[in-house]
């Protein structure tokens, strides 16, 4: 059975999703969702260790050899992404129980978990597959469930932001389909490895650069790369807390993975960066995103929205790393995938605790929370420090690699802008800290600390921030290995 592990990674949650819908009891559905998340986490760890020991795994669905059948192909990069997605799911699921009870109507809870499992399944499916059309199918599974989950937020603006996300997401998906179709017309194949071999033969035509452009725009829409990020702030701000915590730490990460997969594995760095010069577009966009979105974050009064703008800026860091096209730069980008998932996961989960106890995440409503919710706010502070990039946190590791990679190429202005982004992060994190610790709460308000069922998962992520900030050997090792593989450099 262990040879089937790659497909079981996806199929077990996919089978558990309808079961979660059928049991129709909130508690049972939650247990099913827990089982799905824990299974996925275990399977992804198994896959990662196997990939690191034995190299790339190829699994032939339906026993049809690629390119005739669909292939699952697991290497260091996507095994790492699988671990990120399923680890976050495994932390968010236990957290979701109390949070969802408070925020989602009880007759919907069962379907809520179904949608959450489907969203995770879709993301895992995108990450693991070696077939470009299969990417599209699983992309839609994750997107459709994400639209529905976001719309469940308690504010009516959740509906409009979900609609906006649906429109922009569908445009992105359709662009990706156009790109796939153009590639298919020139090569006759949909298998990624096969495409990588056949594309160079036809790369001189006009069609392939256009396919490249459509894929670039489509994926950028999904990953909310500035200036295509317009759907993101509202979607994150108004979704239920557990949904924000999950989607913010996984969905854009998987989109970044797709960017890497398409432009490094399929088109190859030579075509993407020497011929198409994608780095010349990505780098300025990333830098603008880091600066402008961090400034926008400062002006937000809704803390979830503030963190959402910060997310767009952080996506800038990942894309910046990629645009350096060096082992260090790529490793920094890939490392930040993981690290940012931990950072934003813990911050949004802390906000979920605030939502639970206070019923609002507006800055004004958070006065005095440092006293009344000490554990929640301590988690927020530590997450915030990690976001800024203070030593001994994961945020520092990412920035360290990124600055080094920039300096390695003599791009000191880039390094300066990265550090400036950190300073701006100090400003917006401080804004929250100041209100929570130094402003007196309104008279007569009694707010209690969030329950342990919320605090424990939050603190698990916070401690992970510290652990992987001190001992980055494992994560950095995988990231460098993945970066070498993408660039085709022997390790």
Query: Using the rule CB under 8 A, is 237 a contact of another protein?
Result: no
Comparing CB distances to another protein, the nearer of 148 and 478 is 148
Among 2, 53, 54, 107, binds another protein (CB under 8 A): 107
Closest approach of another protein to the CB of residue 40, in Å: 15
Contact 125, 138 (CB under 8 A): yes
Closest approach of another protein to the CB of residue 461, in Å: 26
Strand, coil or helix: 60: strand
Comparing CB distances to another protein, the nearer of 242 and 320 is 242
Query: Using the rule CB under 8 A, is 49 a contact of another protein?
Result: no
DSSP result, 213-258: HHHHHHHHHHHT-TTS-TTHHHHHHHS-HHHHHHHHHHHHHHHHHH
Query: Using the rule CB under 8 A, is 251 a contact of another protein?
Result: no
- Distance CA(63)–CA(217), nearest Å, equals 34
Comparing CB distances to another protein, the nearer of 167 and 270 is 167
Query: Using the rule CB under 8 A, is 364 a contact of another protein?
Result: no
List 73's β-bridge partners, or say none.
58
Comparing CB distances to another protein, the nearer of 12 and 470 is 12
Among 28, 45, 178, 275, binds another protein (CB under 8 A): 178
Query: Using the rule CB under 8 A, is 35 a contact of another protein?
Result: no
Comparing CB distances to another protein, the nearer of 353 and 414 is 353
Query: Using the rule CB under 8 A, is 390 a contact of another protein?
Result: no
**φ/ψ (deg, to 5) at 131:** -130, 130
Residues 108-147 binding another protein (CB under 8 A) are: 108, 111-112, 114-115, 118, 121-122, 125, 131, 133-134, 136-138, 140-141, 144-145, 147
Contact 46, 105 (CB under 8 A): no
Contact 316, 289 (CB under 8 A): yes
Among 28, 52, 210, 281, binds another protein (CB under 8 A): 210
Sign of the Cα torsion 334, 340, 342, 345 reads: negative
Comparing CB distances to another protein, the nearer of 160 and 277 is 160
Residues 419-478 binding another protein (CB under 8 A) are: none
Closest approach of another protein to the CB of residue 282, in Å: 18
- Distance CA(310)–CA(292), nearest Å, equals 10
Among 28, 31, 52, 198, binds another protein (CB under 8 A): 198
Query: Using the rule CB under 8 A, is 301 a contact of another protein?
Result: no
Query: Using the rule CB under 8 A, is 181 a contact of another protein?
Result: yes
Among 360, 391, 427, 456, binds another protein (CB under 8 A): 360
Which segment (62-70, 90-98, 221-229, 339-347) binds another protein by CB under 8 A? 62-70
Residues 140-169 binding another protein (CB under 8 A) are: 140-141, 144-145, 147-149, 151-152, 154-160, 162-163, 166-167
Contact 362, 455 (CB under 8 A): no
Query: Using the rule CB under 8 A, is 42 a contact of another protein?
Result: no
Contact 397, 479 (CB under 8 A): no
- Distance CA(223)–CA(63), nearest Å, equals 33
- Distance CA(309)–CA(290), nearest Å, equals 10
- Distance CA(63)–CA(61), nearest Å, equals 5
Structure tokens given for 381: 């502070």
- Distance CA(398)–CA(341), nearest Å, equals 12
How many residues belong to the site for another protein (CB under 8 A)?
89
Query: Using the rule CB under 8 A, is 57 a contact of another protein?
Result: no
Query: Using the rule CB under 8 A, is 98 a contact of another protein?
Result: no
Of 104, 94, 106, give the one whose Cα is nearest residue 41: 94
Comparing CB distances to another protein, the nearer of 354 and 417 is 354
Tokens 């109507």 sit on residue: 105
Among 35, 57, 171, 463, binds another protein (CB under 8 A): 171
Of 206, 182, 210, 214, give the one whose Cα is nearest residue 195: 182
Tokens 């603006």 sit on residue: 157
Query: Using the rule CB under 8 A, is 45 a contact of another protein?
Result: no
């Amino acid at each position: 059975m262990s040879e089937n592990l790659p497909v079981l990674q996806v199929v077990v949650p996919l089978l558990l999703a309808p079961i979660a819908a059928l049991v129709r009891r909130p508690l049972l559905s939650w247990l099913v969702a827990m089982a799905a998340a824990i299974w996925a986490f275990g399977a992804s760890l198994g896959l990662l260790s196997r990939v690191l020991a034995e190299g790339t795994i190829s699994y032939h669905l339906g026993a049809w050899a690629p390119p005739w059948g669909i292939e699952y192909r697991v290497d260091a990069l996507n095994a790492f992404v699988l671990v990120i997605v399923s680890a976050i799911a495994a932390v968010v699921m236990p957290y979701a129980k109390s949070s969802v009870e408070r925020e989602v109507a009880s007759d919907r809870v069962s379907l809520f978990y179904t949608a959450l499992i489907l969203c995770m399944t879709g993301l895992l499916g995108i990450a693991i597959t070696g077939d470009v059309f299969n990417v599209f199918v699983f992309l839609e599974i994750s997107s459709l469930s994400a639209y529905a989950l976001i719309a469940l937020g308690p504010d009516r603006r959740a509906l409009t932001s979900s609609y906006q996300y649906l429109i922009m997401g569908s445009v992105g998906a359709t662009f990706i389909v156009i790109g796939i179709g153009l590639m298919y017309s020139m090569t006759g194949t949909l298998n990624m490895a096969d495409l990588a071999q056949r594309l160079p033969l036809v790369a001189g035509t006009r069609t392939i650069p256009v396919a490249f452009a459509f894929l670039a725009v489509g994926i950028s829409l999904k990953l909310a790369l500035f200036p295509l990020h317009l759907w993101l702030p509202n979607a994150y701000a108004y979704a239920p807390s557990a949904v924000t915590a999950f989607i913010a730490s996984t969905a854009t990460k998987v989109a970044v993975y797709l960017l890497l997969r398409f432009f490094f594995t399929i088109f190859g760095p030579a075509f993407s960066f020497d011929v198409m010069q994608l780095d010349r577009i990505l780098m300025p966009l990333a830098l603008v995103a880091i600066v402008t979105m961090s400034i926008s974050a400062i002006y937000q009064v809704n803390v979830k929205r503030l963190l959402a703008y910060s997310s767009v800026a952080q996506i800038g860091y990942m894309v910046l790393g990629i645009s350096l096209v060096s082992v260090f730069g790529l490793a920094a980008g890939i490392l930040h995938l993981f690290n940012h998932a931990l950072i934003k996961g813990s911050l949004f989960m802390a906000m979920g605790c605030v939502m639970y106890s206070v019923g609002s995440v507006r800055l004004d409503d958070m006065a005095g929370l440092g006293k009344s919710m000490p554990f929640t706010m301590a988690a927020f502070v530590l997450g915030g420090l990690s976001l800024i990039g203070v030593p001994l946190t994961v945020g520092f590791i990412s920035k360290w690699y990124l600055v080094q990679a920039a300096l390695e190429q003599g791009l000191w202005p880039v390094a300066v802008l990265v550090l400036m982004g950190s300073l701006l992060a100090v400003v917006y994190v401080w804004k929250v800290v100041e209100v929570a610790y130094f402003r007196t709460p309104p008279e007569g308000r009694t707010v209690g600390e969030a329950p342990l069922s919320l605090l424990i998962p939050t603190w698990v992520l916070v401690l992970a921030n510290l652990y992987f900030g001190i001992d980055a050997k494992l994560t950095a090792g995988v990231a460098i290995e993945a970066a070498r593989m993408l660039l085709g450099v022997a390790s």
